[in-house]
Amino acid sequence: MMKGEQKKIFHKGSNEKMNTFITLLYPSNKIKFKISKSRTSTDFIDHVISIRGYVKKNKIKRFILVTDNVSFHVSTKTKQFIENQLPWLTVIFLPKRSPNLNPVETRVNRNLKKDVCANHNYGTEENLIYFL
């Protein structure tokens, strides 16, 4: 392939968007994620509920969630949900427009976009998860 030329990837013709909610677990650097067709407060709350399952399973007394200020993280519905989770959950919001402070952006999303999503078609969600 010539320099500057882009490899053509043949696919079924679908350009369906998938959204992933990702939480980087410290200190293990393991990832807890949820794949969703949309990015709404309800989807984010479902992800936090799955984190609660992880917290209970691992007998963690307190979980600190550091997140950005995307609309579904700071919506009224999400804030009300978080208020009801105070016994086990603390949420810290990063300053606006500071992706460099967000480890998920710098460690996970950057590599996902570069290595996994760019010009690749995995056909199914299962194949994508396998390559993650």
CB 62 within 8 Å of CB 71: no
Residue 124 lies in a domain: no
Query: For residue range 86-129, what is the model confidence (pLDDT) as tens digits?
Result: 999 999 999 988 878 887 777 777 766 666 566 556 667 777 77
Of all residues in the chain, the percent with pLDDT exceeding 90 is 43
Residue 125 lies in a domain: no
Residue 45 lies in a domain: yes
Q: Which domain holds residue 56?
A: 19-97
Query: For residue range 66-90, what is the model confidence (pLDDT) as tens digits?
Result: 999 999 999 999 999 999 999 999 9
- Model pTM? 0.71
Count: domains in the chain: 1
Residue 91 lies in a domain: yes
For residue 33, give the CATH number of its domain: 3.30.420.10
Report the alpha-carbon distance of residue 69 to residue 59 in Å, rounded. 28
